[in-house]
Amino acid sequence: MNYYENRVMKVGKGYILDKVIGAEELFWIYDRLIKTPSWTLSRASYSEAIGLAFNGFPGLNIETKGEVYDEFLAGYFRSILFRVKNTLKKEYGFNLPSEIKRIHVGAKSSFSKTNFHTDSELKTDWTILGFLNPVWNAKDGGEFFLDKEKITYTGGRFVVFPSCVKHDGGYVINEKLSYWRIAVNIILSQPKND
């Protein structure tokens, strides 16, 4: 299998694409992300958690509803979006929407707890979740749950699913871990007809 061939599988209500990003690129983007100065410490997966001390996790807002906060990273993750879209179209004849509602990156440690949530109530919105750690030990936890489906955190893996499906990033259980578990979350919506 060459670098550009993605292993794709249907799982529950979504799709898993492996090797969307190769090892060298993962090391590069992970390093770039952790050195980006505009992280906030108050991201949350559900609105009730916003503003509560120690109830969130570090987040990096890249683009929201057409407002771009980091031009370079927005362009980079758009290129990832096109890789994912082209693979799903080729393998399953499935067309993802192309309008970006939000791109953000979340970093989690053993102190970062989240609850099952949805990214959108709209059935036409889709989420692309990408695992960006170049190195990860499954014994450290951090898996992803899509509804009742458990998906192992593997660097370069992307999960695509309807944004209205409940999901949650599993806890990082290694309290001595010296690096963050990082994932990108891209929410897509259907373009509005004028």
Taking only the tens place, the pLDDT of each residue in 136-193 is 988 888 889 999 899 999 999 999 999 999 998 877 888 888 888 999 999 999 887 6
Rounded Cα distance, 123 and 162, in Å: 7
Q: Which pLDDT belongs to residue 42?
A: 65
Per-residue CA distances from 87 to 91, 174, 181 (Å): 6, 34, 25
Q: Which pLDDT belongs to residue 55?
A: 55
Rounded Cα distance, 155 and 21, in Å: 8
Q: Which pLDDT belongs to residue 112?
A: 67
pLDDT category of residue 2 using cuts at 50, 70 and 90: very low
The phi, psi pair for 161, rounded to 5°, reads: -155, 160
- The SS3 call for residue 156 is coil
Q: How many CB atoms lie within 10 A of CB 182?
A: 23
> What radius of gyration do the chain's Cα atoms show?
16
Question: Is a pLDDT exceeding 70 seen at residue 43?
Answer: no
Q: Which pLDDT belongs to residue 193?
A: 66
Question: Can you state the percent helix, strand and coil of the chain, rounding each to 5?
Answer: 20, 35, 45
Q: 44 or 172: whose pLDDT is higher?
A: 172
Task: Name the DSSP class of 91.
Answer: H
Cross-strand bridge partners of residue 9: 16
pLDDT category of residue 4 using cuts at 50, 70 and 90: very low
> Which pair of tokens denotes residue 6?
């993605």
- Note the helical H segments in the chain: 23-34, 71-92
- The SS3 call for residue 17 is strand
Task: Name the DSSP class of 12.
Answer: T
Per residue in 70-118, pLDDT (tens digit) is 999 999 999 999 999 999 999 999 999 989 999 999 988 777 677 788 9
Q: What is the mean pLDDT of residues 127-134?
A: 96
> Which pair of tokens denotes residue 50?
């916003």
Q: What is the mean pLDDT of residues 11-37?
A: 94
As a dihedral over the C-alpha atoms of residue 61, residue 123, residue 194, residue 191, rounded to 10 degrees, the angle is: 40
- Note the helical H segments in 65-189: 71-92
Quick one: what percent of the chain has pLDDT higher than 90?
60
Domains and their CATH numbers in the chain:
8-189 (2.60.120.620)
